[in-house]
């Protein structure tokens, strides 16, 4: 019996790509570059600011301008963190169903707390989650299992009683290492060269409401 469902944030719980894409394109425009198509940016969003700057400027992390550009991206994003971001269709209904069945839920993300916390607050879900674990909450980040194990301790639940849902291979690796059931969110930020069928999740879903069927609710 699953007692808790934990979600990755970007690309699983919330569709944050529009705000992150807008932030990257603003930096590109400021630097005299042409903006990128949203469809080009979306698959990279789960990998954070470093990946977005690499995508937009084709620079290595060691380039003298890299950190300046990354910090500018995050500054713009922080100031517009929930302007275009919404929950994925079906998440709100799913959360209600979980509550009706006495199943708690939480967030485990690699996003740093200084971005996670205001986003969850502005979306109106910070006080509804049983736990929110950010990328800097513990000393390790996914694919290490520690953030997921920390979430279990917070909600008083065994990993074997938890389901973790994510849209990246590191999510599935972390969930499996923690001893949880795992679902791959195919509606999230999957790259064309990804092979989610090889990640080893217990199942793959095309819509959040499929979680209800997986849990037998």
DSSP string across 84-115: S-EEPTTHHHHHHHHHHTT-EEEEE-SS-HHH
Helices (H) and strands (E) in the chain, counts: 9, 8
**Which of 31, 28, 32, 30 is closest to 41 using CA atoms?**
28
The Cα–Cα gap between 38 and 56 comes to: 12
Is residue 73 within 8 A of residue 22, CB to CB? The reply is no
Judge whether 10 counts as a catalytic residue. Answer: yes
Distance between start and end Cα atoms, the chain: 11
Q: Longest C-alpha distance within the chain, in Å?
A: 55
Judge whether 89 counts as a catalytic residue. Answer: no
Parallel, antiparallel or unpaired: strands 14-15 and 86-87? antiparallel
**63 phi and psi angles, rounded to 5 deg:** -65, 145
The Cα–Cα gap between 204 and 211 comes to: 10
The string over 84-97, giving b where at least 16 C-beta atoms fall within 10 Å of a residue's C-beta and e elsewhere, is ebebbebbeebbee
Write out the catalytic residue numbers. Answer: 8, 10
């Amino acid at each position: 019996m699953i007692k808790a469902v934990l979600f990755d944030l970007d690309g699983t719980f919330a569709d944050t790509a529009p705000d992150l894409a807008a932030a990257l394109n603003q930096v590109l425009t400021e630097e005299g570059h042409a903006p990128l198509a949203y469809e080009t940016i979306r698959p990279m969003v789960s990998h954070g600011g470093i990946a977005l700057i690499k995508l937009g400027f084709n620079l290595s992390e060691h380039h003298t301008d890299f950190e300046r550009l990354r910090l500018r991206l995050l500054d713009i994003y922080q100031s517009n963190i929930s302007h275009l971001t919404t929950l994925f269709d079906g998440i709100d209904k799913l959360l209600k169903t979980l509550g009706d069945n006495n199943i708690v839920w939480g967030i485990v993300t690699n996003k740093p707390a200084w971005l996670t916390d205001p986003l969850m607050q502005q979306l109106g879900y910070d006080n509804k989650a049983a736990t929110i674990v950010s990328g800097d909450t513990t000393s390790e980040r996914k694919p290490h299992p520690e953030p997921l194990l920390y979430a279990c301790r917070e909600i008083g639940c065994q990993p074997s009683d938890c389901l973790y849902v994510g849209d990246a291979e590191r999510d599935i690796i972390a969930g499996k290492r923690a001893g949880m059931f795992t679902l791959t969110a195919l509606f999230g930020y999957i790259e064309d060269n990804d092979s989610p069928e090889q990640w080893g999740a217990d199942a793959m879903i095309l819509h959040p409401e499929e979680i209800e069927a997986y849990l037998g609710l």
